[in-house]
Structure 1
Amino acid sequence: MAGSNYVLAQTSPTQAPIVAPATNAPAPASTPGTPPELAKPPIPTVFTASVTDENGEPLTGVHLANESGSIAAVTDSVGQAEMPGINAGETLLLSVENSVVRRFVAGADQKPIIALDTKNAAVARLKPVRLLFNTSIRPDLTAASTQSIYYRDLQKFPVTTFLNALAGQAAGVQAIQLSGRPSDDFSVVSVLGWNPTIVIDGIARSSSSLDPVTSFDLEEIESVTVLKDALSTAMLGVRNTNGGILNVTTRRGTPGQPRISFTVQSATQQPLKFPKALDAYDYATLYNEARVNDGLAPVYTQADLALYQNGQDPIGHPNVNWRDQVLKKSSQLNRYTFSASGGNQFSKYFVSLEHLSQSGLLQTSDINKYNTSNDYKAYTVRSNIDLQLSKKLTGGIRLLGRILNGNDAGSTTTTILSSLLNTPANAYPVFNTNGSYGGTQQFQNNLYAQTVGSGYRQNYKRNVIADFYLQRSLDELTPGLFVRGTGSYYASLSENIARNKTFATFLQTTPATGNPTYQQFGTNGDQANGNSISYQSNTTYLEAALGYNRQFAAHGLNAIVVGSRQSANTDSDLPYTVTGLSGRFSYNYQQKYVAELAFGLNGSNRYPDNGSTKYGFFPAAGLAWNISRESFLESQKWLSFLKLYTSIGLTGNDNPGYFSYIQTYFDTPAVYFGTGAGTQSANTEQVLATIDRTWEKARKLTLGVQGAVLDNHLGFTLEYYNSLYYDMLQQRGRSTTLLGQLYPDENIGRYHFYGVTGQLTYQQSFGNLGLFATANIGVQNSRVLSIDEVYRPYEWMQRTGQPVGQSFGYVAEGLFQNAADVAGHATTVGYTPQPGDIKYKDLNGDGIIDQFDQAAIGSTKPSIPFGVTVGARWKGFDFSVLLQGVLNRQVYLQGNSEYAFQNNGFGGAFEQHLDRWTPSNPNATYPRVGLGNNLNNFATSSFWLHNNNYMRLKNVELGYTFPLNLSQRARVQGVRLFFNATNLLTFSQYDRIDPEVYNAAYPIQRLLNLGLNIKL
């Protein structure tokens, strides 16, 4: 391929090109006074351009031409195009399907690598859809329902797992972060209402977000493709009934100059909402009121209340803000990432190294020579190498090594957060006068001592992934035929080391005369050391594939058949092995009409060998019509692209249990037969065995339309899905307790899930200004069709016909206001209501509040996750904003963070309890206060169910890329300075709590991150 001495200079720089360094830039053709015969030869007029997306992935089918159209070329399979005859200064047009996506001016330099932004609807159609088993296909040549989130949009998030970067970025995908704790801050992701299976580089790794393999360095990931329908997931067979699959593809090298990138980031983490405890005065006042409401005498005198308020007796009448004592106001997250990629026609490589350090919120003390905070460190190395071993033989190695080190206080963060809820401000002082830890008979575990004086714990996780493949072209048999073999090994280990200490607390008593006395609780013990393996697992995977990909004039064929076997070993369990055959066949005519078939035929080893449930067959089919390529629409200039598509199929979900067809028994020491040496312990029968347990199944239908208008500036996708889930595992509702044994799960449930998803994308350039926007939404309905429900005499009690997961309880009608109100209402079984208690609706009108008055509580409307991204680029600046949220979401609040004076009446109380019912506050948001558990007020009811519609300013990023001439002076190819923030603002209908983390779990964090990226 000819060399090049030209670069394409951008005239509308919405995306700066990445340009190889000019190592052999030519001298001027001649200088004044130089004889013509000694003049330099003219600059060659042939150059080669490599066209990629913003991730460096080559784009095939991009049309390059000068303005006159006299010189043109199309990028090949590696994204390269050779254009002879181009002169410096000429404007070149880059087009996709007759739509100009970029203009450049040729200038004197080495060949460029031109990065095109896949937010453009036309460019996005050149990106292959990443399907299962390391297969891919052009998005316009498939009927499957998919959506991809690319490297650039993932990198905007300073998070520790890619799951936390998915919120708001794909239609029908919902990501709820349940904790902000370091090393445990994952999001629970659902696709169309179901938790997806996670596939990484073509291999199913996990169906659990808890698996540490999801803690990816975001610079490793080329894309996360959401596979939503039966056609896209069929090849996974018995592991694809859930709403979809998160198909993660890690980055590969591309031929060309080595690209080296170094990124350093430092983020400040600030915890979001956490229950606000009352100070000692308000707590004691409310505590007295609760005792009086329960018919008891107050325990705090007016003198006590005054001392709590004025703080003159910090030992006898302490007022401790325990949250400030044990938690920091902020913490730090630092990330350092190095990556390198490149290659030639014989080998391609991508290598990355990352170190991540995340500090926790627990306070530390100088009295320790060791760390007691809940910190987290991760070290990751990734190496992806692809080799052209011969003309027909290719191979590759993908390696991942990760070390995850966690640290925690000896008493654990979970215990400390629980103690925060149960320790009132007046419980005891942090320290006594002599410096000892404060405590009482009731509160013997000083909360500060739990944090800094209980020793420490360490957790070590090790993950290793090694993937290998060989692919051989069989063109000698027929062009386009190939065979491929793949092997993979994944191992994970988690080890805990506990170095705990006990500590003593003291109750200080100061008599009117004399020195203080101290009553001791507990002992100061030596450090106790222990270690344990919390889990260990390994998975082996083998795959053999036969594929065919060929174009016959107007006919295109793409087919693959795969045989695979995956065996997972966890702890001491016997292996769980899934074996089977999968395939996909795709045909297109003139790239207008597409027909696809896919299937999975597989099963696992945890069913009886002679049973009918050993293997299952799960087929799917789809049709697509690129209607915009029809002659009758080609003249419609406003229509750039339009595709109609549909798919239907059967999917399966393998949930066999642990050899549940075998009846098991366990010894128990509780009951003995006989005496002396002949004593026998009793055998307890466990869950009853079932021999006909099989896979859960679903029949899925998807209808969709995808298109682009206005010269590809505006793109859209709209889909309708309808899924019948059946043979869902659950216990029979009508099982009798007379047998005295636990009943097994059986395939008896039927659910209906249906809804629509939609997405709009916009991108356009106006001179130096580039604008883009994306909006997505999902409407997710569900209904219970059958659950073998027990007999319920009233319609409102029945679960059948309600949304899946619908809450049931009493319907609250407010609070009783006086004795007459109580007397005039239905009676409550086992309880005598008082004014200020919650009043429940008597649904059946029998004058009694009992189980027959429980009904669906809360909204039955569909869940609606949504996301909106807007951004702009101007010269070197780029800016983007992501808004994300959910409509028709409700949360049920309960437990020690919601109810006052729990923990047998000695627990905490919080700010919301000040708005409790009293005769002078009849419109209160909290019932009358009392001690401990109130059978009436804390019963499951609509009173504690709150509308949790919310919208977050999930991500903001502002970046500046320095001009190329300035970067090259520093001998680097590019420098970008950026600031991004996550969870910056939250708008919630019920704003007392965080909409994702409530009931006092570890608060999620607001991250303010500053970063610098240098490309060499």
Structure 2
Amino acid sequence: MGTFAQTAEKKDSLPQKPPVQLIYTSAKPHLTATSTEALYSKDILKSPVTSVKSTLTGRMAGLYSFQASGQPGADGASVSLRGLDPLVIIDGVVANLSIFNLDDVESVTLQKDALSSAMMGVRGSNGALLITTRKGKPQTQSISFTVQTSFQKPLGAPKTLNAYDYASLYNEALTNDGLPLRYTQADLDAFKNGTDPYGHPNVNWRDEVIKSSSRFDRYSLNASGGNGFARYYVSLEHVNQTGFFVTSDQNKYNTNNNFKTYVIRSNVDINVNKSLSGGIYLLGRILSGTEPGSTTGSILGALVNTPNNSYPVYNPNGSFGGTNLFQNNIMAQTIGSGYRLNYKRDMLANFYLKQKLDAVTPGLWVQVKTAFNANLSEDINRSKSFAVYQLITTTTPATYNLYGVNGAQANGNGIVYQGRSNYAELSVGYDRVFGEKHGVNALVLANNDNSVNGGDLPYTISGISGRFAYNFKEKYVVEAAFGYNGSNRYPPQGDFKRAFFPAVGLAWNMDREEFLASSNFISRLKLYGSLGKTGWDDPGYFTYYQRFFDASSVFFGTSAGSQTAITEQPLANPNIDFEKANKFNAGVDAAFLNDRLTFSVEYFNNKYYDLLQIRGRSTTILGNDYPRENIGTNRYTGAEFKLGWQEKTSGGLQYFALLNTSLLRTKVIFADEVYRPYYWMKRTGSAVGQTFGYLADGFFQTQQEINGSATTVGYTPQPGDIKYIDLNRDGVIDQFDVTQIGRKFAPLLFFGLSLGAEYKGFDFSALIQGVTNRDVYVGGSSIWAFQNNGFGQAYENNLDRWTPATAATATYPRLNIGSNGNNHAQSSFWLRNGDYVRLKQIELGYSVPEVWLKRIKLDNIRLFARGYNLFTLKSKELDDRDPEVISAFSYPMQRLFNFGINIKL
């Protein structure tokens, strides 16, 4: 067996993983017991998106992403880390920005366990998403310029019924409700044959106001370099993303929902002398958004609430069509309602000075850091009203009824939000190895983070924290960290309320043991684990004070005696405290065959307690709302698995495959519920966020079946209505029959598979991601027929409604007009399979050979083409809807085809 020195030499010859980025420091991967995972710039740049969070989808174990909208400027995915929303930290400072110049991002690191996030103290329970920006290096100047353009296509819109099918089903629904028919046979024939396009229109409104494609253009320029004295990285970026609404050449302004960004960054690091260094990191960002004056949301809502036979787009004289009932012509909303603008401006500035104190003792240093952040969002309203006209053909000549008014254009503006923050930190660190056996790394810091939002009083978090790690021969690692901090929005203990949040961890690098030193099979083998307590700061706005606000005026006697009323806000909670979590994490990280095969698995068990909740067993007799109290307890458990293979063949082919899979199970341990007499009603013991409702049992087929079944309170069922299970067998369907619906105990499983290859200048990569054991609720006007007080849309899935003739195959209950207290009740009938597998991304690239570039003095030219959201396998239960953007009220997901060129010199 070899000696330790021989073992270390063998391991150092292997490809090394980059340092683990922690919030305030970094460490070699084998010298920490933390649970972290990083994604680097090469993979981040593969996604044609504006949000950093969207680039993470499917690429990192434990991180679940969900994109609920494809709207330009608001299409960033929401992410959860082991079930909770992680804190976003940029270069060591909390700055919750997600729209970023992706070229500026060096890495994104997930900090998952208590040990990696303990130093955050009251901000540590949810974990962190740490963004590290690019820095300059002591090398010859390098300039990179990237131009790319994308064509976008909306996905997942539900298919609406044409005018004839809509009218036919509407008559059927009226018959079911015992009401007279609305449409005569002549009306139906006119809708079907298109013989009267103005009196009996058939307009596919989505096709009329939504374009088949839109554009996404990005231009990025950056330069970096430096020497032993100074290093720099500077960048400029412009993004222009157009919306999918049609526009009119008659307007002198833009009415589409476009989005533009302008971002400038400058990162400069300086070595003043051999022991003193410093840095200045600056970011300026302008975001500009436009939309129609009626707003994007109103138009999407109108598409749901306006049937295709309501009115024509235009009348014969060119005016907007409409009726007394439908006065908001959707085309007029899109191109004739003026426009709105939104401007967002952000500025970040980070400064630091670091002094090495090797003269005192080798490895000792001290650092001061300060940061400033200012943001502003401003709306400009240039909307206007419009008139619609209804053609009356019974008069000679034809006349028009006028509804609405062509109003003057508004000219208003207002601040949506305005905020600023400042951060200060003093840290002392020590990093040293004694006698090639004992490694010590320690850090202690004090910080103060102060933010102001609008006219609110400042919100300040301050305290101290620290980290200590010891390793023996780089084989055995002992690590501890703590945070002792708090905020100013709790009942004060002195000036602040603070708490102590400790964590400890152990790691064993088995591959460095002598009995594995000669192994050519094992490249890396580490066992590690951690245990700790973390906190979460969610106090509200000084809720420990009893507050009273002004309300509307009241009158005492005559109007001259009016006085401003005072209303009492929810009861104060003088005992409010931090939320807390006890976290356990254990894992194995291994590599084999000279790092070609990699494998890791982690298990976590996190108990969140003292969660702020409103008591369920409260009473309205009090006449006021109860406060949030620290009474809830939830548990999150799960496992994460990664398996990878990478290889370079003798022929020059490089390829890789990396699979990550995550399991997440949640459970409500305690919630102060209202009294529920039956076990199936209780929220305690169910999954966090579990959906509750009635258990559907098909459709009533006959009146005889109805007569022998439980009845719904206040409702008389008919054949074709949804039948529910009477859980307590009292003959009545009511709140006592509500229970958990969907997949109750199956853990959420989400995964990502990354593939790639390079050969003679050509490169290819793909990303497949998906989720299973996921349920989605599909109720509402996006799927139910004739909502909006009976005048809303109807969809192709409504054609599969129950009738006596289709009783055996129907998948939708009998039709009715408006809301139905039985069929539209929250139940398992409307809970659908939300599992999906998506081909998230494909990229093809070609790098021009260097020998061709020497003549024009360029380092590299790379051409690339990408596809994004290309193909999705999903349940047929969702019809045409996207598995992430379910609601028709939401801006649909976009499929992108992206082309670009990158030039480096």
- Once the two structures are superposed, residues 572-592 of structure 1 have per-residue CA deviations (whole angstroms, 9 ceiling, x without a partner) of 111100011011111111111
Q: How does 1:271-310 map to 2 (within 5 A)?
A: 271-310=154-193
Instruction: Work out whether 1:405 is the aligned partner of 2:291.
Output: no
Asked if 1 retains the 8 angstrom alpha-carbon contact of 2:554 and 2:562, the reply is no
Within 5 Å, which residues of 2 pair with 1:673-684? 673-675=556-558, 677-684=560-567
Which residue pairs with 1:777 in the alignment?
661
1:157 matched to 2:36 = no
- Render the CA deviation track for 1:206-245: whole Å, top value 9, x for unaligned: 3xxxxxx210111000000000000000010001111x21
Shift in Å, 1:612? 11
SS, match of residue 349 in structure 2: strand
Q: Given the alignment, which residue of 744, 758, 769 partners 1:884?
A: 769
- TM-superposed CA distance for 1:613, in Å, is 7.9
Shift of 1:534: 0.5
CA contact (8 A) 1:157 1:981 kept: no
Match of 2:313 among 425, 430, 439: 430
The alignment status of 1:132 with 2:23, answered yes or no, reads: yes
Q: Gaps (5+ residues) in structure 2?
A: none
- Counterpart of 1:838 in structure 2: which amino acid? I
Task: Measure how far apart 1:608 and its partner are.
Answer: 1.8
**Corresponding residue pairs, total:** 893
Residue in structure 1 matched with residue 546 of structure 2 by the alignment: 663
2:129 alignment partner in structure 1: 246
Aligned with 2:483 (options 600, 619, 630): 600
* Partner in structure 2 of residue 148 of structure 1: 38
Q: 1:823 aligns with which of 707, 727, 732?
A: 707
Counterpart of 1:51 in structure 2 is: none
Which deviations, in whole Å up to 9, do the C-alpha atoms of 1:534-586 show, x marking residues without a partner? Answer: 01111100011111111112111111111100111111111100011011111
C-alpha displacement of 1:636: 2.4
Alignment check: 8 A CA contact 1:381 1:400 kept: yes
For residue 159 of structure 1, what is the amino acid of its counterpart? V
2:896 equivalent in structure 1? 1007
C-alpha contact (below 8 Å) 2:243/2:256 kept by paired residues: yes
What is the distance in 2 between the residues matched to 1:144 and 1:605? 30
Matched residue SS, 1:149? strand
Matched residue of 2:334: which SS?
Answer: helix
Which AA in structure 2 matches 1:884? Answer: Q
Residue number in structure 2 paired with 1:873: 758
Q: Deviations over 1:757-788 (max 9, x none)?
A: 11112101112111101000111011111001
1:550 paired residue among 432, 453, 457: 432
State the distance in 2 between where 1:972 and 1:610 align.
63
Deviations 1:34-56 (A, max 9, x none): xxxxxxxxxxxxxxxxxxxxxxx
SS at match of 2:620: coil
The C-alpha deviation readout for 1:256-305, integer Å capped at 9, x for no partner, is 11111110000001111112111101111111111111101111111111
Q: Distance in 2 between matches of 1:146 and 1:350?
A: 26
Corresponding position of 2:791: 906
Counterparts of 1:535-546 in structure 2, within 5 Å, are 535-546=417-428
- Cα distance in 1, alignment partners of residues 605 and 371 from structure 2: 35
Using the alignment, how far apart are the partners of 2:258 and 2:564 within structure 1?
Answer: 46
Asked whether the equivalents of residues 613 and 693 of structure 1 are also in contact (C-alpha less than 8 Å), the reply is: no
Asked if 1 retains the 8 angstrom alpha-carbon contact of 2:833 and 2:878, the reply is: no
Q: Distance between the aligned counterparts of 1:564 and 1:387, measured in 2?
A: 23
SS at match of 1:738: helix
Could you tell me which residue of structure 2 aligns to residue 971 of structure 1?
A: 857
Aligned to 2:400, which of 495, 505, 518?
A: 518
Give the counterpart letter for 1:864 in structure 2: L
Alpha-carbon contact 1:772-1:872 (below 8 Å) kept: yes
- Partner of 1:153: helix, strand, or coil? helix
Matches within 5 A, 1:374-453: 374-453=257-336
Question: Who is 2:782 aligned against?
Answer: 897
1:996 pairs with 2:880: no
Shift of the 96–346 alpha-carbon distance from structure 1 to 2, 3 Å rule, reads farther
Asked whether the equivalents of residues 870 and 882 of structure 1 are also in contact (C-alpha less than 8 Å), the reply is yes
1:853 aligns with 2:743: no
What CA distance in whole angstroms lies between the structure 2 residues aligned with 1:610 and 1:739? 30
Quote how far apart the aligned CAs of 1:96 are.
5.9
Instruction: Specify the alignment match of 1:802 in structure 2.
Output: 686
SS in 1 for 2:718: coil
Q: CA deviation at 1:391?
A: 1.5
**Does 1:572 find its partner at 2:487?**
no
Look up the SS of the partner of 1:969 in the other structure: helix
Aligned-partner Cα distance in 2 for 1:293–1:1004: 37
Select 1:529's aligned residue among 400, 411, 415. Answer: 411
Letter in 2 for 1:530: G
Equivalent-residue separation in structure 2 for 1:761 and 1:344 (angstroms)? 37
1:476 is displaced (CA, Å) by: 1.1
Q: Check the 8 A contact 1:673/1:681 in 2, yes or no.
A: no
What secondary structure sits across from 2:680 in the alignment? helix
TM-score for both structures, normalised by structure 1: 0.87
Counterpart of 1:738? Answer: 621
**3-state DSSP class of the match of 1:342?**
strand
Letter in 2 for 1:221: V
Question: Secondary structure in 2 aligned to 1:285?
Answer: helix
Identical-pair percentage:
54
Q: Is the 2:488–2:495 contact (alpha carbons within 8 Å) kept by the matching residues of 1?
A: no
Give, in whole Å, the separation in 2 of the partners of 1:916 and 1:611. 66
Q: How far apart are residue 848 of structure 1 and its match? A: 1.0
Task: Please tell me the residue identity of whatever aligns with 1:964.
Answer: E
CA–CA distance in structure 2, aligned partners of residues 374 and 601 of structure 1: 46
Alignment partner of 1:181 out of 58, 71, 88: 71
1:47-446 → structure 2 map (5 Å cutoff): 97-99=12-14, 122-123=15-16, 125=17, 127-133=18-24, 135-206=25-96, 213-242=97-126, 244-446=127-329
Give, in angstroms, the shift of residue 671 of structure 1. Answer: 3.8
User: Gaps (5+ residues) in structure 1?
Assistant: 1-62, 64-68, 75-94, 100-121, 207-212
Q: Deviations over 1:591-642 (max 9, x none)?
A: 1111111011100011122489810110001010001100111122211110
Q: How far is 1:740 from its partner?
A: 1.5
Where 1:929 maps in the other structure, the secondary structure is: coil
Contact 2:782 2:887 in 1 (8 A): yes
Residue 92 (structure 1) aligns with: none
Paired residues of 1:226 and 1:245 also in contact (CA < 8 A): yes
SS at match of 2:621: coil
Q: Is the 8 A contact 1:230 1:647 kept in 2?
A: yes
Matched-pair contact (CA < 8 Å) for 1:646–1:702:
yes
Task: Find 2:801's aligned residue among 916, 934, 951.
Answer: 916
Partner of 1:14: none
Match of 2:675 in 1: 791
The TM-score normalised by the length of structure 2 is: 0.97
The letter of the residue matching 1:185 is D
Contact 1:664–1:685, Cα closer than 8 Å, also in 2: yes
Separation of aligned partners in 2, 1:827 and 1:504: 48
Q: Distance in 1 between matches of 2:575 and 2:848?
A: 66
1:144 is aligned with what amino acid? T
Q: CA deviation at 1:712?
A: 1.2
Taking the aligned partners of 1:325 and 1:534, their CA distance within structure 2 comes to: 32
**Cα 1:620–1:829, aligned 2, differ >3 Å: closer, same or farther?**
same
CA apart distance, 1:669:
2.3
For the 8 Å contact 1:592–1:626, the answer to whether it is kept is: yes
Contact kept, 8 Å, 2:553 with 2:563, in 1: the verdict is no
| Structure 2 residue 745 is matched with structure 1 residue 863 | no
Deviations 1:304-330 (A, max 9, x none): 111111111111010111001111111
Aligned equivalents of 1:509, 1:458: Cα separation in 2: 38
Partner SS for 2:659: strand
Summarize the Cα distance change of 1:610–1:587 in structure 2 as closer, same or farther, 3 Å threshold.
closer
Stretch deviating more after TM superposition (431-440 or 222-231): 431-440
d(CA) in 2 for partners of 1:911, 1:494: 41
| Larger radius of gyration between Structure 1 and Structure 2 | 1
Larger relative contact order (Cα-Cα within 8 Å, sequence gap ≥ 6): 2
One-letter amino acid of the structure 1 residue matched with residue 271 of structure 2:
Q
